[in-house]
Amino acid sequence: KKVVCKHTQDPNISVGTKMHMLFLASLLPAFGLSLINKKPIVRESVRRMQLRSEQFAGFHESWKKHFQGSDIFTYNAREDPAGAARAVAASFAHVTRWIPSDVIAALLDFPFREDAPAAILLQGLPVDKEPPLTPVVSAIHGIGTELKQPRVPVAESWVLGLARVLGHPFVPPFFDQGHRGGLVRDMVPVPGVENLCGMLPMHRDFPASVFAPFPEPEIFLLLGVRGDKMHKAKTMVVDSEKLVASLNAEDVEILSTYHMRAQIVLPNRTVIDQGAPFRPLSTQMGCAAATLFVPDAGAYGAGAFGQMVSPDGGPKAEAAWHRMMETGLRVCEYIDLQQGDCLILNNVRCCHGRTAFEPQLDGNDRWLVKSYVTSDLWQRPATGKHGAETFPNFVTQARQKVTNVD
């Protein structure tokens, strides 16, 4: 640290290099470089935890008995929040009965430890023995909201129970009503917009810097009900601080100085701003180190497309943004989520994306179930502490309407 401080006073070193040195110095503890003992601690983008099949002998029989007559088959977070709360509680009880204690400990530490990985991959979870055909949804924003979609109660109980270990599952305010009330969503191909199965660039889900005052999911889970049988659809994950450390000094300076803004361009060339301008990089304590974002044109019909522009940095900042996107693809880890694989991502600490794949729409396409997690869902009476909602409500509200979710 003394060396860094000394060189940042050197007039022969550029401002960009100084900023990069200071940023990297601020990351030393996060990368496990102790200033006392100099022993490095490896921090992974993804920690893989393989569960053995023999650990789950008798699981399905236990599940059937535990959930007999349970709300897990009928819950709807909007129409019956108390029933949804019972489904979550039952799921939590069953998950903690079957997950080994070392895995539970890793999950409990996951949101808090400085040296925790950006994501955890649990492999080998037993899900529904004979899942129904992959559901067909009517529109990209109908994912997980169709009233007659089939359910996969075993997989859903895993997602809800694990989410409760990590915090509380919740429904962002812009998710529509449906058979689960948005608490668990089906991530599947959508007929008519198969192009959305192309490359999904690196991003964070609903980052606060773009979507405020809407609540930013701290964590989310993806559980494979059915994997891509061609093994082309791979989830990409990179620790945000690793991403920043992989950039050159000039791009760090540019991306921490200037703002980017997401826009939707309609077929008639009308431009709609999506969310607020934001700085892609932040060195402030308590903020995400890196924010990548993908404009969502799915709700605007055929011919609409998204673009990222810099209102104050112009082409220079836009070029740095694209280089940051490319760097993310180069340094990320690739995960082929198959049946029983659960990927748990710290949405504040990492960026993620997905490689392209070719849907067949034959009932055997890739099917993931997804749920978001927050640490401050419910208010605690008489404590004065913040809570987004009162028990047992799962659907969060925003203080005002913003254009990105019209």
The predicted model gives 248-274 an average pLDDT of 95
Distance of CA 236 to the CA centre of its chain: 11
For residue range 127-174, list pLDDT tens digits in order.
Answer: 999 999 998 776 554 544 455 678 999 999 999 999 999 999 999 877
The predicted model gives 262-283 an average pLDDT of 93
Mean pLDDT lowest for which of 84-88, 176-180, 270-274, 296-300? Answer: 176-180
For residue range 210-230, list pLDDT tens digits in order.
Answer: 887 777 899 999 999 999 999
Q: Name the residue type at position 390.
A: T
Structure tokens at 45: 């983008």
For residue range 98-107, list pLDDT tens digits in order.
Answer: 999 999 999 9
Q: What is the DSSP string of 94-150?
A: HHHHHS-HHHHHHHHHTTT-TT--SEEEEE-----SS--PPP--SSGGGTTT-TT--
For residue range 351-361, list pLDDT tens digits in order.
Answer: 999 999 999 98
DSSP letter at 231 equals S
Mean pLDDT lowest for which of 2-11, 158-167, 253-262, 292-301? Answer: 2-11
Residue 88 pLDDT level (bands cut at 50, 70, 90)? very high
Q: Name the residue type at position 276.
A: A
Would you tell me how many other CB atoms lie within 10 Å of the CB of residue 42? Answer: 8
Rounded to whole angstroms, how far apart are CA atoms 176 and 179? 10
Distance of CA 283 to the CA centre of its chain: 21
- What backbone phi and psi angles, to 5 degrees, belong to 197? -90, 5
Residue 17 pLDDT level (bands cut at 50, 70, 90)? low
User: Higher-confidence residue: 241 or 254?
Assistant: 254
3-state secondary structure of 335: strand
Helices and strands (H, E) in the chain, number of each type: 10, 14
Q: What is the DSSP string of 240-295?
A: HHHHHHTS-HHHHHHHHHS-EEEEEE-TT--EEEEEEEE-SB--STTS-SB-----
For residue range 39-75, list pLDDT tens digits in order.
Answer: 444 478 999 999 999 999 999 999 999 999 999 999 9
3-state secondary structure of 316: helix
Residue with the two structure tokens 């492999």:
123
The predicted structure's pLDDT at residue 26: 52
pLDDT at 21 over 90: no
The predicted structure's pLDDT at residue 36: 30
Helix 249-257 with 314-331: angle, nearest 10 deg: 120
What are the angstrom distances between the C-alpha of 395 and each of 62, 173, 176, 275, 376? 31, 6, 10, 21, 13
The predicted structure's pLDDT at residue 300: 80
Parallel, antiparallel or unpaired: strands 271-278 and 235-239: unpaired
Residue 82 pLDDT level (bands cut at 50, 70, 90)? very high
Rounded to two decimals, what is the model's pTM? 0.87
The predicted structure's pLDDT at residue 93: 98
The helix (H) or strand (E) run that includes residue 238 is: strand 235-239
Which of 202, 100, 186, 200 lies closest to 144 in space, CA to CA? 186
